[in-house]
Amino acid sequence: MNKIQEKRSIRAFMLSNVMAGLEGSIVATALPAMMAELHGIKLMSWVVTIYMLLMAVSSPIWTKLAERFEYKQMFVLGTLLFTIGSLGEGLAINMLMVIVARALMGLGAGVMIQLPFVIYGMMYQADERRRVIGNTVAAYSFSTIAGPIVGGLIVTLLDWRWVFFINIPIGIYMAFIVWKNFDLKTDHTKKSIDFAGSASLSIAVIAIMLLFQMMGNAVINLPLLLILLVVSFLFFIGFYFAEKRAVDPIVPLELFKNPSFIAKNIMFFMQYGFFGFYTNYLPTWGQGVMGATALVGGMVLIPSAIMLVIGTRNVNHLIQKVGEKKTIYIGFSIMVLGAIFLFSLPEHASIMMLFVATAILGTAFGIVNITLQVAVQESVAKHLIGAATAVNALLRTMGTTLVLSGLSIALNRTFTEATAHNPKLTTTLLNQISDAKALKNIPVNLIAPLRHTLFNGMHLLALISGLLLFIALFVNWLDPWKKGLE
């Protein structure tokens, strides 16, 4: 593979992250029209959930398959699955077809988001790896923010089905570019595939992530939660024993004997938990508390994406001056300042204050994310880079899911207390206060107390999420920051 082929391949890998990132956020704009046409409101949550679940659990499996059957083949296969799923979703005539297609897309996205980072770990040394990963993460971040805007334009000008049809030519082009240009020479294992480990891990993770999601519901189904808890526990135990016996385990247990690897994953878990808070709740803060329109509320996250690029571009220089551990201290400290800034905002603050907050947080996220991404790979021996990267991706997703579920519980409790104190406030009205169009249906005398209730909820979530950052700083202090040896 010459330099021109390498650049083409890297651009295709970045495009894969853009596509998967867009798909995760663009679907929200298609859901109302999709539900209206296919009469699937009761199954709407599964459109999002099945994609996220299969993307998360398939990452370690795809990585292990790539080690056996080559990275290029698995990347192309995953991309084609994503493309076929897009075609199926665009042609869907009922909700069952939509969910099956979303499942295929989730499996494909597990390759498209995860495998490029493993490949970067194989191809590049630390400094160059940080640069390439930084560009990829920045592209992904921009795509998730652009998703609702692009989706809104497509649904308005064309039809909701084109939100998915547009993936088809891009997916085919991307698979063709990688097939023709990419060639990474690695030693392929011919050991038996760890089917028992793959199956038990998948079931355990799906059960625990569904458990986390359902805990955030306003009405909790306790028996079902207990069943999911028992299932996840039993299959995690089964996974442990399967990996102990496996000739080539999907997740080598020796990873969890590495204190530096564990510490960095805990920091990632905390960081992505906080990231989930500010990317999911700050637009609601802007719309529901400050009275911004949906367009302006969505734009609140744009400074984060811009400053993330600036943060990633300066990481190498910062590491050369102060080292990796101090760079993480600096990044998390900036993040803490952003959290304190949010918590200190008065109820009637200008929407511009949220733009300032996301700019601060984006800078910090760029610094921390890229440094930790490379550090996770460098904390293990080279032959474990694939497994370490896959486990890290899985834990990041679980971190976001778990923290968002906890925040939902806290927010629902705030709403329950407010409605008990003032019977005129209802959950329906609290849901409508964030929608500028629905605002005209709310009695004028209730708008202020509804916004005050939502403001109290946002403040509480900022406090809870900020505490995660202090845990991350403490874990960084404990981290020995040792490099892996081959």
φ, ψ for residue 246 (rounded to 5)? -65, 140
What pLDDT, on the 0 to 100 scale, is given for residue 88?
A: 92
Range 170-192 average pLDDT: 80
What pLDDT, on the 0 to 100 scale, is given for residue 188?
A: 59
Range 249-255 average pLDDT: 84
CB 294 within 8 A of CB 287: yes
What pLDDT, on the 0 to 100 scale, is given for residue 280?
A: 75
> Please, what's the b/e burial string for 277-287 (b: 16 or more CB within 10 A of its CB; e: otherwise)?
bbbbbbbbbbb
CB 464 within 8 A of CB 342: no
Lowest mean pLDDT segment, chosen from 154-168, 214-228, 432-446, 454-468: 432-446
Range 407-428 average pLDDT: 80
pLDDT digits (tens, 9 = 90+) for 431-462: 667 666 667 777 788 788 888 888 888 889 89
Lowest mean pLDDT segment, chosen from 284-288, 315-319, 332-336, 347-351: 284-288
What pLDDT, on the 0 to 100 scale, is given for residue 471?
A: 94
* Secondary structure (3-state) at 250: coil
What pLDDT, on the 0 to 100 scale, is given for residue 364?
A: 92
Q: Band the pLDDT of 486: cuts 50, 70, 90.
A: very low
pLDDT digits (tens, 9 = 90+) for 191-201: 667 778 888 88
CA distance 329 to 11: 32
Task: Find out if CATH 1.20.1250.20 is the number for domain 1-183.
Answer: yes
Residue with tokens 């981290």: 479
Residue with tokens 């959290």: 339
For the chain, the residue count is: 486
On the question of pLDDT at 237 being above 70, the answer is yes
pLDDT digits (tens, 9 = 90+) for 14-64: 888 888 777 766 776 676 677 667 776 566 667 767 787 788 788 888 888
Centre a 10 Å sphere on the Cβ of residue 202 and count the other Cβ atoms it contains: 20
φ, ψ for residue 459 (rounded to 5)? -60, -45
Q: What is the DSSP string of 434-484?
A: T-TTGGGGS-HHHHHHHHHHHHHHHHHHHHHHHHHHHHHHHHHHH---PPP
Closest CA to 466 of 392, 410, 389: 410
Range 410-422 average pLDDT: 81
**First-to-final CA distance of the chain:** 25
CATH class, 252-486 region = mainly alpha
What pLDDT, on the 0 to 100 scale, is given for residue 468?
A: 93
Residue 123: is it exposed, middle or buried by C-beta count within 10 angstroms (0-12/13-18/19+)? middle
What pLDDT, on the 0 to 100 scale, is given for residue 84?
A: 94
Centre a 10 Å sphere on the Cβ of residue 260 and count the other Cβ atoms it contains: 19
The beta strands (E) that lie in 140-241 are given as none
Q: Which residue has the higher pLDDT, 430 or 222?
A: 222
Range 401-428 average pLDDT: 80
Q: What is the DSSP letter of 257?
A: G
What pLDDT, on the 0 to 100 scale, is given for residue 219?
A: 67
Q: Which two tokens stand for residue 275?
A: 């990231």
Q: Which residue has the higher pLDDT, 421 or 484?
A: 421
CB 426 within 8 A of CB 235: no
Two domains, one topology: 1-183 and 252-486 = yes
Indicate the Cα dihedral angle 159, 164, 170, 175, nearest 10°. -160
pTM for the structure as a whole: 0.81
What pLDDT, on the 0 to 100 scale, is given for residue 83?
A: 93
CA distances from 74 to 185, 315, 459 (A): 14, 31, 45
Q: Which residue has the higher pLDDT, 369 or 155?
A: 369
What pLDDT, on the 0 to 100 scale, is given for residue 124?
A: 82
Tell me the pLDDT of the chain averaged across its residues. Answer: 83
What pLDDT, on the 0 to 100 scale, is given for residue 36?
A: 67
Interhelix angle 444-478/324-343, rounded to 10 degrees, is 160
Q: Which residue has the higher pLDDT, 337 or 209?
A: 337
CB 427 within 8 A of CB 419: yes
Domain boundaries, the chain: 1-183, 192-247, 252-486
What pLDDT, on the 0 to 100 scale, is given for residue 473?
A: 95
pLDDT digits (tens, 9 = 90+) for 120-145: 888 888 778 888 887 887 777 777 77
What pLDDT, on the 0 to 100 scale, is given for residue 24?
A: 66
Closest CA to 70 of 159, 185, 205: 185
Residue 169: is it exposed, middle or buried by C-beta count within 10 angstroms (0-12/13-18/19+)? exposed
CA distance 472 to 49: 28
Closest CA to 131 of 408, 275, 404, 320: 320
What pLDDT, on the 0 to 100 scale, is given for residue 176?
A: 92
What pLDDT, on the 0 to 100 scale, is given for residue 134?
A: 79
